[in-house]
Structure 1
């Protein structure tokens, strides 16, 4: 059976190769190689953690809005209702939902960020 590497396996392999050759590069290219490796690491985290984070965000938004739907639709409606003042800091569960979504995105974008709950 022929199997293909998963996208996250490919990004991890390329990042590892970049880190292997980075010490032999001049300072400017070593810096650019580190930037590239960091970008690949972010893509890898998005591939691994993104689907679960999005599914959890959809559940939270659906509970707040009282309807189901796709992430983009729910997110758009949530933003509109916040802008319109229909949902405020007094809305039960809103701040908790926004905080959870933000922390899940931070875990993908900046995994070394330490926050206080």
Structure 2
């Protein structure tokens, strides 16, 4: 049976390769290589943590809004509630949910 590397394994391999050649690069290219490695770290976190973070965000927003829905629809509705004053900092649970969503999104 042939097994394929998981996405996060491929991302790690490319990041390690870039790091291995970085010392040989000109300063500007070395800097750009470091930026590329950091971007790959973001991609890896999105692949490994993103689905769970999104599911938890959906649960939080559904609790705030009083109904279920998809991530995009709930986010749009929550933004509209904030924009129009339907919800504000005094809304029970709002700040905690927004904080948790942000922390899950950018660990």
TM-score range normalised by the length of the shorter chain: over 0.9
CA distance, structure 2, for counterparts of residue 67 and residue 24 of structure 1: 55
How far did 1:30 drift?
A: 0.6
TM-score, structure 1 normalization: 0.89
How far did 1:58 drift?
A: 0.3
How far did 1:102 drift?
A: 1.1
Normalized per residue, the structure richer in helix is 2
CA distance, structure 2, for counterparts of residue 26 and residue 20 of structure 1: 14
CA distance, structure 2, for counterparts of residue 72 and residue 7 of structure 1: 24
CA distance, structure 1, for counterparts of residue 28 and residue 90 of structure 2: 50
The residue number in structure 2 matching 1:87 is 87
Q: How many residues align?
A: 107
Unaligned runs of 5+ in 1: 108-117
CA distance, structure 2, for counterparts of residue 25 and residue 90 of structure 1: 53
Unaligned runs of 5+ in 2: none
The residue number in structure 2 matching 1:78 is 78
CA distance, structure 1, for counterparts of residue 93 and residue 105 of structure 2: 18
Which residues in structure 2 correspond to 1:1-117 (within 5 Å)? 1-107=1-107
Over residues 4-38 of structure 1, what are the superposed CA-to-partner deviations in whole Å (9 max), with x where a residue is unaligned? 11111111100000001101111111111111111
